[in-house]
């Protein structure tokens, strides 16, 4: 990829590889007409979509179901002055198909919070951008 301002742009495959190394990212969305950011644990599906598991009645589900959001994850090493950041942009949707929900119950992320009415939210990876500084491939 190309260099710009000391950063190296990452391609889609590099971005997905790095995302798979970290357990926590941030959902960026709009709440009450203002930007909001919420840290969440996640996993990637086989198509590169970001998967979250949360309560069906959560404020997050009400705010993001059916709208375009951003999801960001990163890893940095301050001592080595290296790191990376990846942003996934796409439509978020609650998984409603029972067979898909069953599959994700076995393979998808588990919420770090106890849930009685857990649902999966899929953020389609319509656009993925990433960049690294230094030799960040080992930082995770």
The structure tokens 């890893």 sit at 75
Residue 135 pLDDT exceeds 70:
no
**Which CATH code, of 3.40.630.30, 2.30.110.10, 3.50.50.60, 1.10.357.10, is assigned to 3-135?**
2.30.110.10
Average pLDDT over residues 64-73: 97
pLDDT score, position 136: 52
With pLDDT > 90 as the criterion, what percentage of the chain qualifies? 76
Residues 38-56: tens digit of each pLDDT:
999 999 999 999 999 999 9
Distance CA 85, CA 16 (A): 11
pLDDT score, position 97: 95
pLDDT score, position 19: 97
Q: Would you say 47 and 95 are in contact if contact means Cβ atoms under 8 Å apart?
A: no
Distance CA 68, CA 27 (A): 11
Instruction: Give the number of other Cβ atoms within 10 Å of residue 92's Cβ.
Output: 24
Q: pLDDT tier at 4 (50, 70, 90 boundaries)?
A: low
pLDDT score, position 113: 77
pLDDT score, position 137: 52
Residues 12-27: tens digit of each pLDDT:
999 999 999 999 999 9
pLDDT score, position 85: 98
pLDDT score, position 1: 44
Element (H, E) at 27: strand 24-31
Query: What are residue 59's phi and psi, to 5 degrees?
Result: -60, -35
Distance CA 63, CA 54 (A): 13
pLDDT score, position 2: 47
């Amino acid at each position: 990829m190309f260099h710009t301002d000391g950063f190296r742009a990452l391609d889609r495959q590099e971005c997905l590889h790095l995302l798979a190394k970290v357990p926590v990212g941030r959902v960026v969305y709009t709440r009450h007409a203002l930007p909001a950011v919420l840290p969440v644990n996640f996993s990637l599906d086989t198509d590169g979509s970001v998967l979250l598991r949360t309560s069906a009645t959560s404020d997050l589900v009400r705010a993001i179901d059916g709208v375009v959001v951003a999801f960001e994850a990163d890893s940095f090493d301050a001592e080595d002055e290296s790191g990376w950041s990846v942003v996934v942009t796409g439509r978020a949707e609650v998984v409603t198909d029972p067979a898909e929900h069953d599959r994700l119950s076995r393979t998808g992320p588990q919420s770090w919070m106890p849930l009685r009415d857990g649902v999966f939210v899929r953020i389609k990876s319509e656009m993925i951008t990433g960049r690294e500084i230094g030799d960040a491939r080992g930082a995770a």
